[in-house]
């Protein structure tokens, strides 16, 4: 299964981002940035599963960043 979400290091931790758009993933209006590496990895895996099952995913460049 191809991955839609991946991780990249940011100034305060790790960002989960959409590999197609390059924007951070958004969960409940909050951009998923500044995360612990294990949390980011788990979240990316969960979002990939949701995407594969057709779940609604928000990718919003104007979302509020963590940190």
pLDDT tens profile 2-11? 789 999 999 9
Sign of the alpha-carbon dihedral angle for 51, 42, 32, 24: negative
d(CA 13, CA 35): 5
Q: Which token pair is 47?
A: 């979002």
pLDDT at residue 37 greater than cutoff 80: yes
Comparison of pLDDT for 57 and 40, the residue scoring more: 40
Q: Within its chain, how far is the Cα of 35 from the centroid? A: 10
Contact (CB, 8 A) for 57 and 27: no
Question: Sorting pLDDT into bands at 50, 70 and 90, what band is 67?
Answer: very low
In this structure, how many other beta carbons lie within 10 angstroms of the beta carbon of residue 5?
24
pLDDT at residue 41 greater than cutoff 90: yes
């Amino acid at each position: 299964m191809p991955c839609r979400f991946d991780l990249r290091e940011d100034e305060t931790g790790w960002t989960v981002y959409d590999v197609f758009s390059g924007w951070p993933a958004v969960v409940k209006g909050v951009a998923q940035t500044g995360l612990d590496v294990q949390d980011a990895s788990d979240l990316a895996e969960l979002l990939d599963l949701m995407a594969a099952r057709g779940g609604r995913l928000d990718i919003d460049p104007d979302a509020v960043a963590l940190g």
